[in-house]
Structure 1
């Protein structure tokens, strides 16, 4: 779902999201990520939460080599692309309207010898989860996916399905409203959640969550 486009004259600092592409240096690669706000809205542009999460993956030395990772609500695919370049076997997901755009960014930025380590797949939270292995991912990644309260139940269901007690969730976001804090509280009902990084310049938090093990029945 796209947000209502803003007036660039009112918010010139955000005009970067109307550029057709953005360039980054991650994992010893120069990445050129296409953007398309007019066609895809929030799914077609790069948000600070994605950039900060990529920095964290690289600079915090998160071990991705050989790990099975999945990115939710990938949009342009920046996070999943960086995770692949850092050695992960990555599934990059979003809703159907974003997939062609997402595939183009992946093809453009993943070298041929690593194309087999990444796949783009349709995933609407809470739907068709049987197509994804239950508890089958070592690392679950999400950047700026917590902003629509109506999606919280489906997102929580999806996180619960994809993760096991050994999985690690990294969630990068800006806390804008009370509903964002509410999501973290809901997440805390099933996951052990802790803040592991804060980028003060961009006002972005990164939370690490691990699924709580079910208590044995008496």
Structure 2
């Protein structure tokens, strides 16, 4: 969601994020994702949380075929594209400055016969939510979107607006700071929250949230 450029030398452990592309194989499909760290920062690279969430979707733990999904803070759009190739109809969202880049990745990576399954749309959390049907999605996806404390209230409002009592929210994140855990604690006051997967190699957690108590 945040468009924050970083200097290459200040984060040597993240040097792969400065590559102009990253390649993956999900949903029986090869992805070559364009990256542009220097221009769009965190919004234009593939983070480990996105990779782990794609792996989780491939496991079939969540029904995707014929479902409506929305990805928040999509960045490169990898998660949303994988969900679409696994059978969902997906709205992939991010802030306006990232949309051209996001749309280009969708055009480049999604087969023509699947292009109609994806809509790229502007969504700044907490703003103009009436453009999106309240409770209108079966699945809400977010990869590494829990990291800026100032955005937490708007993110929570957005999740509440988009969710019905049957909506499944999947958040993949690395818990870097106390504030990240604080957001999960607040989310748990509004949703039934459960950790459903942990990738120890990448230190990525996946949380599943539901508005009402259902079988998790």
Shift of 1:93: 0.1
Answer yes or no: is 1:72 the counterpart of 2:59. no
1:42-53 aligned at under 5 Å gives the runs 42-53=42-53
Per-residue CA deviation, residues 43-66 of structure 1 (Å, 9 max, x unaligned), is 010100000000000024421000
1:74-153 aligned at under 5 Å gives the runs 74-153=74-153
State the TM-score, normalized to the length of structure 1: 0.94
Shift of 1:170: 0.2
Structure 2, unmatched stretches of 5+, are: none
Distance 1:65 1:13 in 2: 37
Between Structure 1 and Structure 2, whose CA radius of gyration is higher? 1
Answer yes or no: is 1:5 the counterpart of 2:6. yes
Tell me how large the CA RMSD over aligned residues is.
1.2
Distance 2:11 2:157 in 1: 36
SS at match of 1:188: helix
Shift of 1:4: 5.3
Residues 1:16 and 1:204: Cα distance change in structure 2 (over 3 Å) = same
Per-residue CA deviation, residues 96-132 of structure 1 (Å, 9 max, x unaligned), is 0000000000011111111111100000000010010
Distance 1:132 1:105 in 2: 23
Distance 2:73 2:149 in 1: 15
SS at match of 2:160: helix
Distance 1:173 1:199 in 2: 10
Equivalence for 1:185: 185
Distance 1:7 1:108 in 2: 26
Q: How many residues of Structure 1 are paired with residues of Structure 2 in the alignment?
A: 212
Shift of 1:6: 4.0
Distance 2:12 2:192 in 1: 39
- Retained in 1: the 8 A contact 2:192–2:210? yes
Distance 1:60 1:175 in 2: 25
Equivalence for 1:34: 34
Shift of 1:212: 2.8
Equivalence for 2:161: 161
- Retained in 1: the 8 A contact 2:69–2:88? yes
Structure 1, unmatched stretches of 5+, are: 214-218
Distance 1:104 1:61 in 2: 29
Equivalence for 1:216: none
Residues 1:59 and 1:72: Cα distance change in structure 2 (over 3 Å) = same
Distance 2:4 2:118 in 1: 29
SS at match of 2:6: coil
